[in-house]
Amino acid sequence: MPYTANEKRYNGMIYNRCGKSGIKLPAISLGLWHNYGGQDVFENGRAIARAAFDAGITHFDLANNYGPPYGSAEESFGAILKKDLAPYRDELLISTKAGYDMWPGPYGDWGSKKYLVASLDQSLRRMGLDYVDIFYHHRPDPNTPLEETMAALDLIVRQGKALYVGISNYREPEAREAAAILKRLGTPCLIHQASYSILDRWIEDGLLNAMNEEGVGIIGFVPLAQGVLTNRYLDGIPADSRAAGHSRFLNKDSISESKLAIVRKLNELAAQRGQSLAQMALAWVVREGGIASALIGASKVSQIEENVRALDNLTFTDEELQLIDRISRGDGA
């Protein structure tokens, strides 16, 4: 049967202003980094996307090389748009990125104008779109002048291929400079996508304040530390988990016993709050403090449902925040 979105989809979601812009982001956004590649089950990804939109998640985040193989996540999302979400296009914020290796040769990587423009053209074809809402430079390029990269983002907006632009994985000095260049060009930087979780707090060392000063919103990716901040690893590393496999981003060596001890103590606090560990970790990221949205992944519909319920309790006492700080530093309770 044709898909019809939940009529009450906006009743429970929280929408936060993104920097000093007219855009509001859902407090929980859906990333298609995993589970939408050509090797994944399409109907599972389709069900997750539909459940997300039914829960008020309007922001779907992709990149040119999400898969595997590269480009396949965008192709899958394009098929989901065509089958289900196309009638709701104006209710969606769709983003994609370019900056990592995508095709062979000197023009398929990093931050040149040639690469960024060509990559977005390919992304639009894969998704069957005339434009994306947000286009990101995925990582800083040490060899291309920042002025060229930012000028490419400005050009893309002026061409009508993106409504807004952003940056990802930029440190404070280069993020400030990028925002300043874009402001001079007349295409303000809307958003910075950076890793952020209870276990990964590097943006607190300058970047968070800098982006707030520049009027740039922040969306935090891997807020659950790729599943470490869930009940998945409380009893060790399951044989069927991502960490037990050969993921380049998460492996057994990156989940030490000392880290698991931290996770177990956080889980105890979450239980006292009446939340799952994942719900508390997400609530902590999007509590009042400058983060517009937490960008989650999901491998099943039930994870969407659980994660959205994090928004039922975003309030932390000073004592709870101090305890989370101590636990995350390994100082104990």
Q: Which domains does the chain have, with CATH numbers?
A: 15-255+277-314 (3.20.20.100)
15 has which bridge partners? 26
Local structure of residue 153 (DSSP, 8 states): H
Q: What is the mean pLDDT of the chain?
A: 95
Q: What is the dihedral of CA 296, 297, 302, 308, to 10 degrees?
A: 10
The confidence band for 235, taking pLDDT boundaries of 50, 70 and 90, is: confident
Can you give the pLDDT at residue 333?
Answer: 56
pLDDT score at 252: 59
Distance of CA 203 to the CA centre of its chain: 15
Which pLDDT belongs to residue 256? 83
Q: Is the pTM higher than 0.85? A: yes
Cβ atoms 145, 175 nearer than 8 A: no
Confidence of residue 332 (pLDDT cuts 50, 70, 90): low
The two tokens of residue 164 are 């807004």
- Per-residue DSSP letters for 10-33? TSS--EEE-SSSS-EEESEEEE-S
What per-residue confidence (pLDDT) applies to 289? 81
Q: Are 323 and 269 in contact (CB under 8 A)?
A: yes
CA distance 1 to 3: 6
Each residue's pLDDT tens digit, 33-78: 999 999 999 999 999 999 999 999 999 999 999 999 999 999 999 9
Condensed to tens digits (0 to 9), the pLDDT of residues 150-205 reads: 999 999 999 999 999 999 999 999 999 999 999 999 999 999 999 999 999 999 99
Gap between the Cα atoms of 89 and 85, Å rounded: 6
Q: Which pLDDT tens digit goes with each residue over 108-147?
A: 999 999 999 999 999 999 999 999 999 999 999 999 999 9
Predicted local distance difference test score (pLDDT) of residue 306: 98
Amino acid letter for position 276? S
Q: Quote the CA–CA distance of 303 and 297 in Å, as a whole number.
A: 9
Of 89-103, 224-238, 305-319, the poorest mean pLDDT is in: 224-238
Please state, in angstroms and rounded to a whole number, the distance separating the CA atoms of residues 245 and 7.
Answer: 40
Task: Give the span between the Cα atoms of 116 and 186, in whole angstroms.
Answer: 19
